[in-house]
Amino acid sequence: MKTQQNAEEPISKAGIVINRMYVGDYLSENLGHEVINFFKADNGRHYIYLNATGNFAKEHENKIGYMLFVKYYDKGLVEVIGMAKGLEEVPGANMSLNRSGVDKEIWEMQKDYIDKEGGISYAGVSILDIFNNAEQQSIFITYKADKVYRIKSSIRRFIRFSNADENRGSNLPTDEVIQLGEHKQAKASLKQYIYPSDSSDYDSLFALFNDSSLWEDKVVDEVDVDNLSIKSQRKVSIFDICKIQNNENCFSDALKYFMKQSEYYELWKEFFAKYGIDLQKNFTVAREESAKIESTEWNRKNPSGGRVDLLIRDGENIVVIENKIKSDINTIATDGDDSTQLNRYVNYVNWLVKNNEGAKPHFIILTPSYNSPTIKDENMAKMYSIIKYADLYNFLEEHLFGFYNDANFVAFFEAMHRHTHKNVNDYLYYEMLEKFVRRIKERG
C-alpha cells in the first residue's frame, strides 16, 4: 500500500539533476547554503539550493523537474539521500555569477522573489539574515519544490557511474546499486543533469521518484530549535575544530586517556561489568601495542602481528578493544596466510595468557551503529563482542552528573553522538541541523 503524499506520480518526464551535498566544511562560520534543502521554510514551502554556487547554465533552463540529493561514497559512486520533485526555477538562478564578489543584479532579483513569497524564513529568521555576509552571497535559492523527501533510514540506494572502477562498490548488494551505462561522474562539478533522451540511465533514475517504499512517509519538516538533542545545544569543541569526529586514532587516544584517570575508574568498572568483565583497579591501558610474537614456532601455527588499538591488563583480565569507526574489520593480512587482524589478535592474547596464568581474555569491537561489522569468520564471531558507540554514549548519558564539570570529557562524550545513528545519512543530517540551528540563533 502506498503511503500518504508519496502516492503522487510524477506528471511528466522532465530532466533530473543530481545534486551532491555534504561537501566542504560545516563549522558554524562556514554553513553550506544547501542546508535549506532538507528543511521546510516557515511559510510551508520547500526551497532548494543547487551546489556549488546556486546557479545553473542557461541550457538547462525550464528543463529540470526533479532532483536527487546524493553524497559521495566512493570514486564513481554516490549514495542517494533524498529527492525533490516539481521544481520551479527562481529568478537569477540561471545567470552567470560575478566572481569578484556579490552580483548586485542577481542579489536584487533574489531579494524581490523572497519578498513576493511573503518572506522566506527558517525558525523565524529570514534566509537573507541567515546567509548574508557569509560565504557566497549572490544566490540564496535555486528552485522552489513541490515536495522534498529524505530516504528512509533502513534503506540504501547508490548510483554507480559508468566510469567507476569495477571494484568500486563490489561489497554492496546488487539490488541497492543503480548502474549507469552512459553517464560518467563529473570530475569537478557537484551537479549533473540527465534527460529523458538519455535512455536507460534516465529511466533507472526516474523510477526512484515513483517508488514510494524508498522515501519517508512525510515530506521534510520545519526547523525545530526547541526540540534538539544535547549535542545541538553545545559549544564547538576541539573535536569539531580539528575535524576529528571520525578519526579512530583520536577516539582511541581519548579512551585511553580517560580510562587512566583515577576519578573515572568506577565509571569504567561499571561499564565493562555490563559485558562480563570484572575490571580491577590496578589496570593499565596500552595504545597501538604490537601483536607480533617473537616465537617462530608459535607463529608457524598461530600467525600474529598488527597493532591493537587498546589493550587493557589488570592481572586477571586481558581486554582487546578494536575501534572501528570507518575501516573494515575483515582485512586480510598481506603475508599470504589468510589470517585477519581478529585472528592475529586472538593468537597474540592467547600467547600472553599462556605466559600469565589466571588472566582471562576478552575481545571487543567498538563500532558506530551505522558501520556495525559482519565478522565473516564464525570462530571469531563467537569470540568478539560488538559494543556500539550508542551503548557507550547511552551509558555515559546516565552518568552525566559524574563528569559534567570536566569540559574535555564532555567534549569527548558529545563527539560520540554522531556515531550513535543507525544510518550514516542520519548523522550527517543532524550535524547539518546542529550548524543550522547555531546560525539561526546567532542571527535571530
Question: Can you give the pLDDT at residue 10?
Answer: 56
Residues 315 and 420 in one domain: yes
Q: Residue 177 sits in which domain range?
A: 15-223
Give how many domains the chain has, as a whole number: 2
Residues 53 and 26 in one domain: yes
Residue type, 177: V
Question: Can you give the pLDDT at residue 6?
Answer: 46
Domain boundary among 166, 199, 223: 223
Low-confidence ranges of the chain (pLDDT < 50): 1-7, 26-28, 229-232, 329-339
Q: How far apart are CA 36 and CA 33, in angstroms?
A: 7
Neighbours of 299 (CB within 10 A): 18
Residues paired with 16 in a beta bridge:
66, 194
Q: What is the pTM of this model?
A: 0.74
Q: Does residue 313 sit in helix, strand or coil?
A: strand
Residue type, 86: G
Q: How far apart are CA 435 and CA 134, in angstroms?
A: 13
Question: Can you give the pLDDT at residue 5?
Answer: 45
Q: How far apart are CA 49 and CA 136, in angstroms?
A: 12
Residues 210 and 266 in one domain: no
Q: How far apart are CA 156 and CA 150, in angstroms?
A: 11
Q: How far apart are CA 212 and CA 218, in angstroms?
A: 11
Residues 25 and 129 in one domain: yes
Strand ranges of the sheet holding 143-145, from the earlier edge strand across to the other edge = 46-48, 143-145, 88-89
Nearest to 168 by CA among 72, 75, 70: 75
Exposure string (b/e) for 247-274, b if CB count within 10 Å is 16 or more?
bbebbbbbbbebbeeeebbebbeebbee
Left, alpha or beta for 214 (phi > 0: left; psi -120 to 50: alpha)?
alpha
Q: Are the beta carbons of 270 and 328 closer than 8 angstroms?
A: no
In a domain, 436, yes or no: no
Residues 158 and 283 in one domain: no
Residues 110 and 213 in one domain: yes
Residues 256 and 118 in one domain: no
Residues 272 and 405 in one domain: yes
In a domain, 230, yes or no: no
Q: Does residue 139 sit in helix, strand or coil?
A: coil
Q: Are the beta carbons of 24 and 72 closer than 8 angstroms?
A: no
Question: Can you give the pLDDT at residue 298?
Answer: 62
For residue 313, give Cα distances in angstroms to 283, 319, 392, 407. Answer: 5, 7, 20, 28
Domain boundary among 188, 223, 258: 223
Cell of 300: 608457524
Rounded (to 5) percent helix, strand, coil in the chain: 35, 20, 45
In a domain, 7, yes or no: no
For residue 127, give Cα distances in angstroms to 32, 107, 141, 429. Answer: 13, 13, 9, 19
In a domain, 133, yes or no: yes
Residues 323 and 384 in one domain: yes
Residues 264 and 330 in one domain: yes
Question: Which residues contact residue 297 at a Cβ distance below 8 angstroms, ignoring those fewer than 6 apart?
Answer: none
Question: Which residues contact residue 306 at a Cβ distance below 8 angstroms, ignoring those fewer than 6 apart?
Answer: 290, 291, 292, 333, 341, 344, 345
Residues 182 and 321 in one domain: no
Q: Are the beta carbons of 20 and 79 closer than 8 angstroms?
A: no
Q: Are the beta carbons of 54 and 93 closer than 8 angstroms?
A: yes
Mean pLDDT of the chain: 84
Can you tell me which residue has the cell 561489497? 171
Neighbours of 61 (CB within 10 A): 11
In a domain, 432, yes or no: no
DSSP letters, 73-101, are EETTEEEEEEEEES-EEPTTTTS---TTS
In a domain, 73, yes or no: yes
Nearest to 114 by CA among 104, 128, 102: 128
Chain center to CA of 377: 27
DSSP letters, 250-284, are HHHHHHHHHHS-GGGHHHHHHHHHTTT----TT-E
Question: Can you give the pLDDT at residue 24?
Answer: 65
Q: Are the beta carbons of 122 and 36 closer than 8 angstroms?
A: yes
In a domain, 8, yes or no: no
Question: Can you give the pLDDT at residue 8?
Answer: 55
Cell of 254: 581519548
Domain boundary among 199, 223, 247: 223
Question: Can you give the pLDDT at residue 399?
Answer: 92
pLDDT digits (tens, 9 = 90+) for 249-302: 889 999 999 999 999 999 999 999 999 999 998 899 999 998 888 766 666 666
Residues 184 and 36 in one domain: yes
Chain center to CA of 438: 19
In a domain, 233, yes or no: no
